[in-house]
Amino acid sequence: MPIYANYAATTPALSQAVVKELREYAGGAQLNAGRNFEGLEAGAIALRARRVIGKLFGLSDPLRVIFSGGATQSLNMAIHGLVRPGDHVLAMSVEHNATARPLDYLRKDGVIELDWIQCDPEGSLDPEKIRGLIRKNTRLLVMTHASNVLGTILPVRECCRIAREYGLLTILDMAQTAGVLPFTVDDYFDIVAFAGHKGLRGLAGIGGFVLGKSAAERMRPWISGGTGSGSHSLDMPEFLPDRFEPGTQNTIGILSLAASVEEILRTGVESIRKRERVITARFISGLRTIKNIRVCGTLDPDRSVSVVSVVIPGRDAAEVSRLLFERRGIITRSGLHCSPLAHRTAGTFPGGTVRFSFGNGTREDEIDAILEALDGL
Ligand SMILES: Cc1ncc(COP(=O)(O)O)c(C=O)c1O
C-alpha cells in the first residue's frame, strides 16, 4: 500500500458520506443557482455550505462566504480588487506563488510598490518588524497563515492587528490552515482565502474567501458577469454574495464542501489539530535521530501545521523523493513547491526540499515507516 504524505498539495480521498451525496447530486438534474426555478435548490446547497463554512470561521453572517474556483482565484480577486495605482503593498517572504505572482505582476506593470517582509529561516517573524516598513502610501498587507514549504504558522493576528493600527487592508491566505487549525475571522482580516481540496476535504476546483466586515465596500469585483440578479444594470449587484460571484457556480464543488465541512465540524477542528500535532511531533522527533538530515522550518510542532521539509546534504531532492516512492511507495513532493520565496527564506533555493505533509488519513505506523525509509537511504 502506498503511503500518502502529500496532503499539503491535496487531500487524496473524499469521505464515503461526501461521495454518496455527490453521486446522488450528479445523478439528478443540472442546476444553476438564480437562473431558473430548479436553480433554487442550487442556491440552497450554496447557503448550506456558506452556513457551515461561516460556522467554521466564527462568522455571524454566512453571506460573507464567497465561492470561487479555489484559493488562487480568491487571492487574485482580493489583490486586484483591493489595490489602487500608487499603493504600496507588504507581503511575507514565504508567500506562495498564488499571491507572489499577482503581486509581482502589478509591481512590474508599475501599478504598485511592493516589499517582501523578511521572515527568519524558520519561516516566522517578529510582528513588530512590520511597523518600520509601513509608508504613507502603504495600503495592504498580504500574508500566508502557514508556509506550504516550512509548515511554520505565522503570527497573523498580531501582524494584522498592527497593520490595522496604520489603516491597512489585510489579506490572509489560509490554503494550508483552513480546517486543520482553529481560527476565528475577526475584524483584523479583510479577506481570508481558503482552498476546498486541502484541509477542508472537498473537491478540487472549489474554494473561496471570507469577506471581512468593511472589505465589501472597498473591494471591486475583479471578475464580473451575470449573477442572475440586478440584470437591468451593467454594474455588479451591491449585495453579497452576488457582488463577487459572477457566472455559473460549481454547485457540485460547493456541495462537496457543505458535506465535508459538516463532517469537520462534527469532529471538531480542535481535535483535528490535536491529532495532526501528535503526528507531526512524532515525525519531527524521529527525524532528529536520523543522521545527515536537515529539517527545515520550526522543530516545534505547536508552531507548525503538518508540513515538514527536509534536505539530505549531498542528495538531490527529486532523487530522494523518487527513491522513497520506488522502494517504499511513499508519496512526497520535492522541488520548490510553487514557493521560491519560502525556499530563499529557508536557504533551500534553488535545490529545494523533500516535503512530507500529513492529514486526516495519516497513521502512526506510516510515520514510522517513512522514518525507517529515510534512515535507510
Ligand atoms: C499557501 C498556499 N496558498 C495558495 C495555494 C493555492 O491553492 P489552490 O492551488 O488550491 O488554488 C496553495 C496550494 O498549494 C498554498 O499552499
298-309 pLDDT, tens digit per residue, is 999 999 999 999
Cell 532523487 locates to 319
CA of residue 357 to ligand 1 center, whole Å: 14
Q: Is the pLDDT of residue 316 over 80?
A: yes
Main-chain dihedrals φ then ψ at residue 335, nearest 5 degrees: 105, -140
pLDDT at 39: 67
CA of residue 87 to ligand 1 center, whole Å: 25
| Spatial CA neighbour of 150 closest among 9, 6, 356 | 356
CA of residue 85 to ligand 1 center, whole Å: 26
CA distances from 182 to 174, 224, 298 (A): 11, 33, 20
CA distance 206 to 49: 12
pLDDT tens per residue across span 263-285: 999 999 999 999 999 999 999 99
Q: What is the pTM of this model?
A: 0.97
Pocket residue to mutate for ligand 1, from 7, 77, 79, 96, most atoms within 8 A of Cβ: 96
Q: Please, what is the average pLDDT of the chain?
A: 96
Q: What is the mean pLDDT of residues 81-97?
A: 98
Pocket residue to mutate for ligand 1, from 176, 200, 257, most atoms within 8 A of Cβ: 176
| Spatial CA neighbour of 143 closest among 165, 118, 180 | 118
Q: What percent of the chain has pLDDT over 70?
A: 98
3-state secondary structure (DSSP) of residue 83:
coil
CA distance 245 to 25: 22
Ligand 1 pocket residues where CB is under 6 Å: 70-72, 96, 98, 144, 148, 173, 175-176, 195, 207
CA of residue 98 to ligand 1 center, whole Å: 6
Query: Which has more pLDDT, 233 or 1?
Result: 233
Cell 504558522 locates to 153
Which amino acid, 154?
L
Pocket residue to mutate for ligand 1, from 72, 76, 172, 309, most atoms within 8 A of Cβ: 72
Buried residues in 317-353 as b, exposed as e (16+ CB within 10 A): beebbebbeeeeebbbbbbbbbbbbbbbbbebeeebb
pLDDT band for 28, please (50, 70, 90 cuts).
Answer: confident
| Spatial CA neighbour of 274 closest among 302, 299, 297 | 302
Number of H-type helices and E-type strands within the chain: 11, 13
pLDDT at 29: 74
Q: DSSP character for 304? A: B
How many Cα atoms are found within 13 Å in the side-chain-facing hemisphere of 107? Answer: 14
State the cell numbers at 6.
Answer: 502529500
Q: What is the mean pLDDT of residues 171-189?
A: 97
